[in-house]
Amino acid sequence: MLEVLACTLLGVGLGTFTGLIPGVHVNNLAPLLVGAAAVSGLPPMNLVAVIVAMMTTHTFISYIPATFLGAPEAGTELSVLPAHRMLLEGRGYEVIRLTAFGCLGALVLSAALAIPLSFVFAPAYMFIQPQMHWLLLSVIVVMIALERSRSGILWAATIFLLSGLLGLFTLDTNLVKGDVALMPLLSGLFGVSVLLLSAVHKSSLPKQNVDNPEPFNLRANAKALCAGTGAGVLTGIIPGIGPSQGTVLAQLVTRSSGMRDFLVGVSGVNTAKALFSFVALYAIARPRSGAAVAVDQLVDKVGFNELLFLIVVALIAGGIAAVLHLKLGKLAARHIGGLPYREICLVVIG
């Protein structure tokens, strides 16, 4: 028991590292942990605890650089503009509080739903699998149709086609190895643009409101949390739909357009997806994330006891990660204004 707790804490530490350092992801470390299983002598479930805790913590902590530097990754890219806008208004710590609530709330809701829904997913997945291409196409059509003008729809369709070609050239050819393609893709498409604008225009940050943040209204953000959790559950099971698409669908359901609801929703989607990518191993025997693939390689079969183990580890790690997220986020909010922001942006780009 103590070994499992120690491994969980190790995972929290590793997840904090991967979350804070732009360009470092859980998927970079998970294969190393799988390789360590052969030489470390640790029981496989101890390494599983490290991976699950690392993945859970990463979903929390990654919003700190996404907020204060505009350096996102898969799942957090949609949060950059609202978070950066609030940062420029001196509300960076408010973003941290909102994402902490979204992540932790979605984790608790997902844990409560995991076992009941796991019995539903297997027959539901068997039913929709033959029509999966139509389901994914429907999501694409809905997202393009959300544009309010003909020109917007045309631009959305054009960007969709161009992004598809970009994916084909980088992931389905030998031009770039698949395991190293995602980092430059995500950095170029999402992170570098915001960082370059900040560097070129010599952005300076106002003093952040840390001591007297806006009062938190649980009831006002509950709908966004529930919608984000639901969307995260779906994206954790259905392939091809990521947190960004899930967030758009969640907003469509709740008809919410406020920045606070948006940040709660997107963080909820990301965390629910992380947990349900492990639940999918039990429900449909398919991993839905790089971390889940690593767990699948360590464990012969994820049964009910293993599922309970994953959920408990995720909850413990999530509780610790929420505290770390708030503490580190407050520290960043207090000191980011006194740092050479332009130089930091250039270093991150480099």
Phi, psi of 90, rounded to the nearest 5 degrees: 80, 20
Q: How many residues belong to the chain?
A: 350
pLDDT tens, position by position, 149-183: 888 889 989 988 988 888 787 776 776 665 556 65
- Closest CA relative to residue 269, chosen from 290, 281, 254: 254
Rounded to whole angstroms, the Cα distance separating 74 from 187 reads 10
Q: What is the mean pLDDT of residues 67-85?
A: 62
Half-sphere exposure of 29 (CA within 13 A, CB side): 24
| Least confident range of 54-63, 107-116, 144-153 | 144-153
The pLDDT, as a whole number, for residue 178 is 55
Most confident region among 74-78, 185-189, 306-310, 339-343 by mean pLDDT = 306-310
Q: Grade residue 53 by pLDDT with cuts at 50, 70 and 90.
A: very high
Statement: the pTM of the whole predicted model exceeds 0.75: yes
In this structure, which amino acid lies at residue 87?
L
* Token duo for residue 49: 């605890």
3-state secondary structure of 149: coil
How much is the average pLDDT of 227-246? 80
- What gap in Å lies between CA 74 and CA 289, rounded to an integer? 11
pLDDT at 246: 73
- pLDDT score for 247: 72
pLDDT of residue 110: 95
Tokens representing 204 are 């300076």
Q: How confident is the model at residue 193 (pLDDT cuts 50, 70, 90)?
A: low
Q: Which H or E run includes 108? A: helix 92-128
Q: What is the mean pLDDT of the segment spanning 124-147?
A: 84
Answer yes or no: is pLDDT of 79 > 70. Answer: no
Picking from 23, 71, 78, 33, the residue whose alpha carbon sits closest to that of residue 54 is 33
Query: Of the segments 13-27, 129-143, 253-267, 273-287, which one has the largest average pLDDT value?
Result: 273-287
Q: What pLDDT shows up at residue 182? A: 60
Q: Is the pLDDT of residue 138 over 90?
A: no
Angstrom distances, CA of residue 165 to CA of 152, 170, 190, 225, 345: 20, 9, 17, 34, 29
Give the span between the Cα atoms of 110 and 217, in whole angstroms. Answer: 21
- 83 contacts 69 by C-beta, under 8 angstroms: no
Question: Could you give the CA distance from residue 75 to residue 291 in angstroms, rounded to a whole number?
Answer: 14
Rounded mean pLDDT of 304-324? 96
Question: Lowest mean pLDDT: which of 74-78, 121-125, 215-219, 342-346?
Answer: 74-78
Q: How far apart are CA 41 and CA 55, in angstroms?
A: 22
Q: Cα(272)–Cα(224) distance, rounded to whole angstroms?
A: 13
Class of residue 171 by CB neighbours under 10 A (exposed 0-12, middle 13-18, buried 19+): middle
Compute the chain's Rg from CA coordinates: 20
Comparing 20-29, 56-65, 96-105, 323-332, which segment has the lowest mean pLDDT?
20-29
Rama region for 72: left / alpha / beta (φ>0; ψ in -120 to 50; rest): beta
H runs (alpha helix) in 218-340 = 218-237, 243-254, 259-283, 290-298, 304-335
Q: Where are the beta strands (DSSP E) in 141-186?
A: none
State mean pLDDT over 228-242. Answer: 82
| Predicted confidence band of residue 257 (pLDDT cuts 50, 70, 90) | low
Structure tokens belonging to residue 135: 């389901």
Q: Lowest-confidence range among 33-47, 87-101, 252-266?
A: 252-266
Mean of pLDDT values over 55-61: 95
Angle (CA) 67 262 275, round 5°: 80
Q: Quick one: average pLDDT of 322-346?
A: 80
Euclidean distance between CA atoms 168 and 123, whole angstroms: 32
Q: 337: burial class by Cβ within 10 Å (0-12, 13-18, 19+)?
A: middle
Give the pLDDT confidence of 82-135 residue by residue, as tens digits.
777 888 888 889 999 999 999 999 999 999 999 999 888 888 888 888 888 888
pLDDT of amino acid 76? 47
- The overall average pLDDT reported for the chain is 82
Own/partner long-range contacts of 144-153 (Cβ < 8 Å, ≥24 apart): 146/248, 146/252
Q: Which of 237, 271, 230 is nearest to 253 (CA)?
A: 230
Averaged pLDDT for residues 342-348: 62
